[in-house]
Amino acid sequence: MFSVKRAAAAFAAGCALSFSAQAKPIAFGKGTTVMAEYGAGTMNEVQAFYAPHYWYSLGGAWLSLSSDGGEKSRHISTLRANVLAKRWNYPAAQANVFAWGGIGLATGNDFSGSQLSRNIGVQADYETRWIYASLRSDLVEAKAFSHRIDSVQLGFAPYAHEYGGLATWLVLQGRSYTGGIYDGVEAALLLRLFKGGTWVEAGVSSDGKLQAMAMFNF
């Protein structure tokens, strides 16, 4: 019964997506997650989710994408569902596969009015108290555009944090955009800090632009 419910939720989620920060889209059951990301001038995003259970969350996202010269810009509002499709719990590690989807409305400077948009994505991650790795693919489409963002993150903790203490991570990120938003791979080096339910990270991209993210779980 549980797997049927999960499969149904996964199917529902398979309808759309948004470009979220590379944190986990579900923190814990009966928890609320609020995230905001500034991505090197290329993307800005705000998200809010509530997770009734540890394996799914529901909420909304607002995404702004902008090409380097400003020739193309997108503003996309999405209602979104996230599903933890699979989790592996190990004695000192955890691995997850998340999927998400949603539908929304998009506006842009190279098409008129607003268009129905759809969003779908997947993330796989592996984490210990020392290392973090994630792969993520995120697609948002409307009649006038199709953008995909593929991301990889590799993180290293200089010390193993304990609950209640400050966790520090150094994260290397690579991000590839399609759909004429950014050519090539945008690399960034980030310093990630979290304590309790608060997560903040900031760094610079390879072309010297600021990237920053904040997330709050409660």
Partner 1 sequence: MKRLQALFFVCITLAVGNAQAKTIEMKVNGLVCAFCAQGIEKTMKSFAETSFVLVNLAHQLVAVELKADADISDARLNVAITEAGYSLVSITRTENSVSDLSARIAAAEQADE
Interaction between residue 91 and partner 1 (CB under 8 A): yes
Do 134 and 113 touch, CB atoms closer than 8 A?
Answer: no
Which SS3 state, helix, strand or coil, does residue 92 take?
A: coil
Do 105 and 77 touch, CB atoms closer than 8 A?
Answer: yes
| Smallest distance, partner 1 to C-beta of residue 217, A | 6
Cα-based distances in Å from 90 to 54, 93, 120, 123: 17, 5, 28, 19
Cα-based distances in Å from 35 to 24, 61, 75: 10, 9, 17
Cα-based distances in Å from 33 to 30, 77, 78, 218: 10, 17, 16, 7
Give the count of alpha carbons within 13 A of 90, CB side only: 9
| Smallest distance, partner 1 to C-beta of residue 91, A | 5
Q: Name which of 187 and 214 has its Cβ closer to partner 1.
A: 214
Which SS3 state, helix, strand or coil, does residue 129 take?
A: coil
Size of the site for partner 1 (CB under 8 A): 32
| Smallest distance, partner 1 to C-beta of residue 170, A | 16
> What residues between 174 and 193 interact with partner 1 by CB under 8 A?
none
> What residues between 119 and 148 interact with partner 1 by CB under 8 A?
127-129
Interaction between residue 52 and partner 1 (CB under 8 A): no
Pattern 97-116, binding to partner 1, x per CB under 8 A?
--------------------
> Which of these ranges, 9-17, 21-29, 144-152, 180-188, lies near partner 1 under the rule CB under 8 A?
21-29
Interaction between residue 29 and partner 1 (CB under 8 A): yes
Residues that bind partner 1 (CB under 8 A): 24, 27-31, 53-55, 84, 87-94, 127-129, 160-164, 167, 194-197, 217
